[in-house]
Every structure is written in structure tokens, then in C-alpha cells.
Structure 1
Amino acid sequence: MKILVIFAGYDKDNIIDDYVVYYIKELKKIANIIYVSDCNMPDNELNKIDNYCLNTINGRHGEYDFGSYKRGYLYAKENNILQTYDKIIFCNDSCYGPLFNLDNILNKMKDYNFGGISISKDLKIAKHDYITSFFIIIDKTIFNTSFFNNFISEIKKEEDKMDIIKKYEFGLSKLMIDNNIELKALFDDNGEFNRPYFNPLSLIEEGYPFLKKHVLEKKITVPLNIDELKKIIKIIKNNYDIKLIVNHLNRVADKKQIKYLFQKYKPYKKVFINEKLFFLFTRYSPSGKYQTVYKFFNFLTISIEKPIKDSYIETNYQDFNFLLEI
């Protein structure tokens, strides 16, 4: 099986970080790689991956990952190499990894016409199942079709990031569904919302080979506490150099947030009498505050928030070097 990887890269400082170099180096063991940046990488950065890549395409285009996927695909097509491959993998630098050997993953995906690492079935944000866009596998029976070519060629810059998600991440899976192609992935959401962000420990325990950067890079509504993080580090540290994570986080993460990095509470839900009458649940709001939410008759909602300082475990950490001591 001959594989072409189209790797989408972006960094606010125009750096190809060491965790990205490692990711690309591991991908090279199973595939040829076209690296496409959505920034202006200097030559000394591109030199870090030159030995591992078939080609590099560099320059700010503002079309996010799908704009990079488009450019890599069109390069392969226009240079008459696309037809020599059995599979294309679209992937990006939004993850640390691979945390485990990728051979097992790819062996299981040999029979996938269209699929990837993760599938989400949360119909609250999409009207259909969709393959998450940071690791997608596409068979030659699809990437050589006119409907796929038309889709990828028409990707353009969007003003709103949610439009990118709807039109291209959701849209690519919808395109497959409309053409009677089954969506397949190694890991699904098990009824949870966006497991790679919100329950990374359970996925990694199942052999999931990636950890999303945003789980640690910035404080978002991710219920990851210090005990869960310790378990993740202990699972992966024999296969993956934790310094790659630490060095990246020390460069890009908001140091002010390290003090309140780990959430104090786990979300829960409790129903009183009947869910249609009254229930409460807890969550972390987009602002990072822990909320208790009371819902009456499925339409009246009352939310009570705790201050940030009461929502998180306060630490004395000044950087992420503490991860090396786990």
C-alpha cells in the first residue's frame, strides 16, 4: 500500500517545532509527505524536515488546514504523482504524537475507503456523523473522482472559523455520505462530546496515538485534572519523548494560566423527578468558570458560576517542566 501524506502546518512564530519534526519523521516510515504551511516559514525551519518530505509548499494563505490540504492535493495531481498512490492521509500539527507505533493503525485502515482516527456522532453540532479533520484517510477510489476533486478545488478563505468547520470538516463527510460511502474510524465518541478534547485519557488508554495540543496549550473547557494528566504521561512516556511536549508548551502556552491549569471538579448531571421537569448539571463555561446549571421544563435555565480561583486547583508552577517529573 503506497501512501501520500499531505501535512498541514501552522505556527504563530513561523517555527517548525520539534514535536512536528518528530511527527513527520514517524510518518516518513509509512508514507511520502508533502508539507504545506499556512505561514511564512524561513528556510532554516523548512530545512528541519527537508530530508523527510517529497515537497514543501510554503506561504501564508489564510485558508486554514483545508487550504493546505487543497494545495498539497493539487500539487500531487498537477505533477502526475497522485495516481501512483493507494491512499492519501490528510493530517496536521494540532496533536502531539504519534504516541504509539502507527503501523497498527494503518493496518486496520487498509480496507477503509474513507475514514480516520476519530469519528464524532454529536448531532448537536452537525446533522450527520463526521470524521475529525486532523487525521483523515482517503482511498484512490475516492480521491480520483470528479466529486472529490471539485470539493477540494473549491476550498476558499472563509471569514469565520466555524464556516471552515461546517463547509469543509462536516462537508467532506457529508460528501461521502451523499455518495454512499461509509464513514469509518478506529475510535468513536462513545456518546461523549468530542473525546479527543474532553476525555483524552480514555482514548489513550484504548491506544489512541495522539494528544491534542489545546488540552494543555490553553485553558479551555476540558475536564482534565492533574491525576488524569499524570496517567496520560505514565502511559506514553516509554514510547514518546515528553520533552517534545514540555518544550513546545514552554514556548507557546499562556504562563499566567499555568497557575490555574487543572480543573477542580468533574462535570455531573442529576435528574429530579423527571428530566422534562427539573434537572441540574455542572460544566466549565467557555470563560473557564465552573457552573451549576438548573434546567426547568426543558426551557428555563439558571446558571450559577464559581470564580476562576475557586474553579481550578491553584499551583506554583512557573512552566511545564513539572511534566518531566511525573
Structure 2
Amino acid sequence: MALPKFLNPLKPLYWAFFGARQRKDHVPQAISVAIASVFGNRSMVKQTWDGGQTLAGAKDVAVLVTWDANGRVHDFLLAHIKGLAEAGRSVIVVSNSPKCPEHEVAKALPHCALFAWRTNRGYDFGAYRDGLKLVPDYDALDSLIFINDSTYGPFQKLGPILKKMKPSEADVWGLTESWDTRWHLQSYFLLFHRAALQNGKVRELWDDWKHVNSKSWIINRLEIGLTGRLTRAGLKCKAVWPYRPLVSEFCEEVREYDLANEESLAEEHRNLLKFMCHLADHGAPMNPCHFFWDRLIVDGFPYMKREVLTANPIGMPRLYEWSDVISSVSRYDTEMIVDHLRAIAKNRVI
């Protein structure tokens, strides 16, 4: 949130109390929780549009959250909606965007059951919760997917992947997991089976919801903390692509072929391989969607995190080959990604 110029002298005070950006900024988090308590647990949804699907009697639903500065429904988002629908999901699209032009909404309506526009309080998790409250018969649900638009894809059909997420093996599934701070399923994709949806602690979570407008609070309590809360409620959580095998296979390959000293690789590439092995040897967590994005895609993982291309947070060399990696295993139209990057990317050539 940008302050007007005449309020510049008050910036230090503003950031001290409302600029919740660090995981340990407990005072701003507490203030944000207090403000959220004033709003209560009411939905932030301002407007809805019925789509071509139906929610009547829906047993398998996906809540897809999106944000765009101008409320645009990009082609990559349409492909995502279609992919979820083809996998047998009734799709609720929830937009946290500041604008929501009806001509943009109209693009999505033939492919989803409902399109909702809400005030962006509570970020993605607030939208997840408000989206599930739009399901007319919660008790009829066999499964519910929470997913956001922080990824490009799906590069593979989602149906076979969803079939791997068996309720007999876990109550809540993620695609990937992280050990950052503590072990948790990564929150860009979470599937709740019926046992989890009907769990008393989970229902209590939805009913006692607060739309806390603090990114650090959400990271601590929900992105990282939710898996622990679910586990304490007696639910089993599991990832389709677990972290430890990824790291083990990577390090074994680097050492077997001595890739860290392979002269045909650029120096920065060799240095990154050494750094990753160093992190693995010291038990330092790596974000699998950043460090192993290409290995995951080749292994059938259906997505690529957008920030890998928009920010390249780990300095991955030869990232310009991303489209070749996708095309080697998928018929996905990578021009949809290029078009979106043209619209949003700054100071980067992808």
C-alpha cells in the first residue's frame, strides 16, 4: 500500500505498525488480527456470476484464486480453468483483483461454475475460505481443491494426477512440500478429501475465520502452520512429489557424473550445483518449485511457478530454455506464458 506524498513523514510509523512483511513482526501481526476481528468472519465477496457448469449436487470442487492489477482473465488462466474442469472439477473462480471488468469475466464463464469478485482481505487464503462458502452443499463434497494462479499450467492432464491423491493414503494432499521453518505442504495446491472436510477442527477453521491482512501472519499460521494444525487434528497429509527423494536423486546425479566440475557447463551453473549440494549436505531447505522446477516438469509435475520466470530467485542459469523443457513433455501452448509475461514482466527478457 502506497502512502500519499504528503504523508511521507509518517512512513516510519506506518511501517512499524502496519507493514507486516517479516515473519517475526509480532506487533503488526497482532494489530492486523485485531482489525480482522472487527470485520468478523463475513465473506468479502462483492459480486458473483453464474457460469456454464453447475454447483448443484457438486461432489468435487476446485476453488481457483486469481489476482491481476486490471482484472484481466489471461489465456493461461483460462487453460487452467479448463484443465480443472476436464479433470471433473466444478470450478469456482475467485478474483482478488482491484478491478473486475465484465467483459473479462465473460471469458471464464463458459468454463466454470461460478465467478466471484471479492475485496482482497486475507489474500489467497481469505479467497480460499470465501470460495468454499459459495459451495451450496458443503456436506455433499467428496473433495475440495484450493489452488491459486501463482503457477503456469497444467502441462499434463490433471485427472491421472488427482487419482494418485487417494483418500486411503492421505486426507489432505499437496503437490509438493517444503521444510522451510517446519515441514508443510505448499499452499498453491491443496486437496482436502471428505474426511478432512468433515473434520471438526477443519470446520471450526472455516467458521472461526478472520480475514487477517498480514502477509507474515498468513505465512506463519496458514502457508506454513496449516499442515501442522491439520496433523494435530488427526489428519494425514502427504505430497505427490515429496522433497527428500528429489534432493537425494539430484545430489547422487551431480556426484556420480561429477557435474560440479564439468567444464562444458558454465561456471555459474557449476557454482549453483555446488551450492545446492552444500545446502543439501547441511540440511538447509530448498524450495522445490524453484530449485528443481525442470526436474519436476520432466517427471510429470503439471506446473511451473510464475516467479521462477518473473524473478529467477535462485539465479538459475539458462532459464531461457524453460519453454523447451515444457515442450519436451507436453503439448501445452507456451505462447500463453509468453503473452502473460509480456503483460506483467519488468526489466527481464524471458
Q: TM-score, normalised by structure 2?
A: 0.67
How many residue pairs get aligned? The number is 250
Within a 5 Å distance, the mapping from 1:42-121 to structure 2 comes to 42-76=101-135, 79=136, 81-111=137-167, 112-120=170-178
- Cα deviation code 1:126-174 (max 9, x no counterpart): 23x2111111110111112331122134443444322211111222211
Counterpart of 2:216 in structure 1: which amino acid?
Answer: M
Residue 180 of structure 1 aligns to a residue in which SS? coil
- Cα deviation code 1:206-230 (max 9, x no counterpart): 1110001111123423424247536
Structure number with greater CO (CA < 8 Å, separation at least 6) is: 2
- Cα deviation code 1:17-58 (max 9, x no counterpart): 110011001111121011111123111111111122222210
**Separation in structure 2 between the aligned mates of residue 87 and residue 149 of structure 1, nearest angstrom:** 14
The answer to whether the aligner puts 1:160 opposite 2:253 as a matched pair is no
Partner residue of 1:181? 235
- Cα deviation code 1:293-322 (max 9, x no counterpart): xxxxxxxxxxxxxxxxxxxxxxxxxxx5xx
Conserved 8 A contact 1:38-1:63: no
Conserved 8 A contact 1:7-1:90: yes
Q: Which structure's residues are more often helix, by fraction? A: 2
Counterpart of 2:166 in structure 1: which amino acid?
Answer: K
Partner residue of 1:323? none
Residue 133 of structure 1 aligns to a residue in which SS? coil
Moved more, 160-169 or 100-109: 160-169
Residue 328 of structure 2 aligns to a residue in which SS? helix
Counterpart of 1:101 in structure 2: which amino acid?
Answer: K
Partner residue of 1:34? 92
Partner residue of 2:334? 242
Residue 250 of structure 1 aligns to a residue in which SS? helix
Counterpart of 1:252 in structure 2: which amino acid?
Answer: I
Conserved 8 A contact 1:118-1:132: yes
- Cα deviation code 1:229-251 (max 9, x no counterpart): 36424324x42001111000011
Residue 71 of structure 2 aligns to a residue in which SS? coil
Superposition deviation, residue 82 in structure 1: 1.6
**Separation in structure 2 between the aligned mates of residue 252 and residue 75 of structure 1, nearest angstrom:** 30
- Cα deviation code 1:104-146 (max 9, x no counterpart): 10111132311121112x2xx323x211111111011111233
The answer to whether the aligner puts 1:12 opposite 2:104 as a matched pair is no
The answer to whether the aligner puts 1:196 opposite 2:196 as a matched pair is no
Partner residue of 1:207? 300
Conserved 8 A contact 2:61-2:141: yes
Residue 300 of structure 2 aligns to a residue in which SS? coil
**Separation in structure 2 between the aligned mates of residue 222 and residue 163 of structure 1, nearest angstrom:** 28
> Any gaps of 5 or more consecutive residues in structure 1?
259-319, 321-326
Conserved 8 A contact 1:95-1:210: yes
Conserved 8 A contact 1:115-1:183: yes
**Separation in structure 2 between the aligned mates of residue 155 and residue 137 of structure 1, nearest angstrom:** 19
Partner residue of 1:257? 348
Partner residue of 2:15? none
Counterpart of 2:149 in structure 1: which amino acid?
Answer: D
* Alignment RMSD (CA, Å): 2.0
Counterpart of 2:314 in structure 1: which amino acid?
Answer: T
Conserved 8 A contact 2:93-2:114: yes
Residue 175 of structure 2 aligns to a residue in which SS? strand
The answer to whether the aligner puts 1:217 opposite 2:273 as a matched pair is no
Query: Taking structure 1 as reference, are residues 231 and 148 closer, same or farther at Cα in structure 2, changes over 3 Å only?
Result: same
Counterpart of 1:169 in structure 2: which amino acid?
Answer: E
Superposition deviation, residue 198 in structure 1: 2.0
Within a 5 Å distance, the mapping from 1:123-134 to structure 2 comes to 125-127=180-182, 129-134=183-188
> Any gaps of 5 or more consecutive residues in structure 2?
1-57, 248-284
**Separation in structure 1 between the aligned mates of residue 186 and residue 319 of structure 2, nearest angstrom:** 26
Q: Which structure's residues are more often strand, by fraction? A: 1
Partner residue of 2:82? 25
Conserved 8 A contact 1:70-1:153: no
Partner residue of 1:286? none
Partner residue of 1:271? none
Within a 5 Å distance, the mapping from 1:306-321 to structure 2 comes to 320=350
**Separation in structure 1 between the aligned mates of residue 327 and residue 216 of structure 2, nearest angstrom:** 35
